């Protein structure tokens, strides 16, 4: 069987880690694309990685390019092209510049990879994935955004740290938009099958939820120049992995809602099954009134950004 082809659009911080993880997991060959001014950088980065495959013990062709013809026929396209946040910026501050970048990327992906499973990572996430879908017109199963896997990974990690247990045993989901209004769901979180609410007091749970909502900003402040990249890269590759291996993982992803959760025509984070059909199924969880109200607040925040996108494309 021929190797799969994974195209990474944007060869910066997240792109670099994704390329390495893709090769290490033997998911396929990697083509990393960036703007012409960065062609040397991505060619160098990928050559460096290719030269490490011998010691890493994995086989993958790893190439860098600024020519879209080189991504032709990719099975998966993961997009991080755009600017990241600097301290003091919100994700929405990136909208103006990143919507222009996503418009350009979407037109090229439409031309060269019409059958790819597309994962958008660029911020502001929920509106960039909406913009990408609007421009490409791709089927909704094949376009989704990465945010919930990262947000729930942060939530799970903080819970594991607090309880001093393996993070593997913490199952959780985070709904809503990728921003300060995201909705961690402690009521549905379990640790080794035991409800979190049995193991932790309400105050500690609230403190962990709060830290989760601000986790990206915490990293932006510490780094001083850019945003998180290890955990976002691992999260996007987990989604690609589930698609390529038809694992049918249940993962929180930004998916196009058409009536689910009472929401129509917006991308928002919800649990979904990711398999060979892409976003195969959105899972609708019955929320209580408080959770539904929080989801509504999150949706309202995303709606504002969508108005801005619709004005621009
Ligand atoms: O959960 C999430 N979705 C996120 C999203 C978590 C963390 C960061 N998230 C966002 O991902 C972040 O706010 C940014 O919008 C993207 C990419 O973050 P990264 O840290 O990888 O940014 P870099 O290192 O600046 O890399 C971006 C690359 C850089 O090399 C640019 O030259 C390139 O994008 N770029 C382009 N590539 C192709 N085509 C165009 N037009 C283009 N413009 C810039």
53 & 32 share domain: yes
Q: Which of 145, 176, 192 is the last residue of a domain?
A: 145
188 & 137 share domain: no
Which residue, by CA, sits nearest to atom 6 of ligand 1? 232
Counting residues of the chain whose pLDDT is more than 90, the rounded percentage is 97
55 & 114 share domain: yes
Question: How many structural domains compose the chain?
Answer: 2
154 & 78 share domain: no
160 & 277 share domain: yes
**Does the predicted TM-score (pTM) go above 0.95?**
yes
Ligand 1 centroid vs 218 CA: distance in angstroms? 18
118 is in which domain, residue-wise?
5-145
202 & 103 share domain: no
125 & 153 share domain: no
Q: Which of 129, 145, 161 is the last residue of a domain?
A: 145
Predicted local distance difference test score (pLDDT) of residue 86: 86
- Angle at Cα 57 formed by Cα 51 and Cα 60, nearest 5°? 60
58 neighbors 23 (Cβ within 8 angstroms)? yes
126 & 203 share domain: no
Pocket lining: 14 vs ligand 1, CB cutoff 6 Å: yes
What are all long-range contacts of 255-262, with beta carbons under 8 Å and residues at least 24 apart?
Answer: 255/140, 255/144, 255/145, 255/279, 255/282, 256/133, 256/140, 256/143, 257/282, 258/140, 260/284, 261/287, 261/295
Average pLDDT, stretch 286-305? Answer: 96
Pocket lining: 81 vs ligand 1, CB cutoff 6 Å: yes
Read off the tokens for 278: 């892409």
Domain harbouring 56, CATH code: 3.40.50.720
228 & 249 share domain: yes
For residue 105, pLDDT over 90 is answered with yes
Task: Dump pLDDT digits (tens) for 186-228.
Answer: 999 999 999 999 999 999 999 999 999 999 999 999 999 999 9
Task: Dump pLDDT digits (tens) for 29-39.
Answer: 999 999 999 99
201 & 135 share domain: no
Strand partners, 32: 8, 64
Ligand 1 centroid vs 84 CA: distance in angstroms? 6
CA distance 157 to 186: 13
Which residue, by CA, sits nearest to atom 29 of ligand 1? 12
146 CA closest ligand 1 atom index: 3
Domain harbouring 242, CATH code: 3.90.110.10
Pocket lining: 148 vs ligand 1, CB cutoff 6 Å: no
Predicted local distance difference test score (pLDDT) of residue 59: 94
Task: Dump pLDDT digits (tens) for 65-102.
Answer: 999 999 999 999 999 999 988 899 889 899 999 999 99
Question: Torsion over CA of 304, 305, 311 and 313, rounded to 10 degrees?
Answer: -150
Ligand 1 centroid vs 91 CA: distance in angstroms? 12
**Nearest partner of 119 among 264, 224, 231, 18, judged by Cα:** 18
Q: Which of 84, 110, 145 is the last residue of a domain?
A: 145
185 & 301 share domain: yes
Task: Dump pLDDT digits (tens) for 157-197.
Answer: 999 999 999 999 999 999 999 999 999 999 999 999 999 99
For the question of residue 178 being annotated catalytic, the response is: yes
């Amino acid at each position: 069987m021929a190797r799969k082809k994974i195209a990474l659009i944007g060869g910066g911080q997240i792109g670099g880690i994704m390329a390495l993880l893709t090769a290490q997991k033997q998911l396929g060959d990697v083509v990393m694309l960036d703007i012409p001014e960065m062609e040397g950088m991505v060619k160098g980065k990928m050559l460096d990685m290719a030269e490490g495959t011998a010691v890493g013990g994995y086989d993958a062709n790893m190439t860098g390019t600024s020519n879209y013809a080189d991504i032709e026929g990719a099975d998966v396209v993961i997009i991080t092209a755009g600017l990241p946040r600097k301290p003091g910026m919100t994700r929405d501050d990136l909208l103006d510049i990143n919507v222009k970048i996503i418009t350009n990327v979407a037109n090229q992906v439409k031309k060269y990879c019409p059958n790819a499973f597309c994962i958008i990572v660029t911020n502001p996430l929920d509106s960039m994935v909406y913009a990408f879908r609007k421009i490409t017109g791709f089927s909704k199963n094949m376009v989704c955004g990465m945010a919930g896997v990262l947000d729930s990974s942060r939530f799970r990690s903080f819970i594991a740290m607090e309880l001093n247990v393996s993070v593997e045993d913490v199952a959780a989901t985070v709904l809503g938009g990728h921003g300060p209004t995201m909705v961690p769901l402690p009521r549905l979180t379990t640790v080794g099958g035991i409800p979190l609410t049995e193991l932790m007091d309400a105050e500690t749970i609230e403190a962990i939820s709060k830290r989760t909502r601000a986790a990206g900003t915490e990293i932006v402040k510490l780094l001083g120049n850019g945003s998180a990249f290890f955990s976002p890269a691992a999260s996007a590759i987990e989604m690609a992995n589930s698609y390529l291996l038809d694992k049918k993982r249940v993962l929180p992803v930004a998916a196009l809602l058409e009536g689910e959760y009472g929401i129509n025509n917006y991308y928002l984070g919800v649990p979904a099954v990711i398999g060979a059909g892409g976003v195969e199924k959105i899972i609708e969880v019955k929320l209580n009134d408080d959770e539904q109200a929080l989801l509504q607040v999150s949706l309202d925040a995303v709606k504002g950004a969508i108005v801005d996108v619709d004005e621009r494309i």
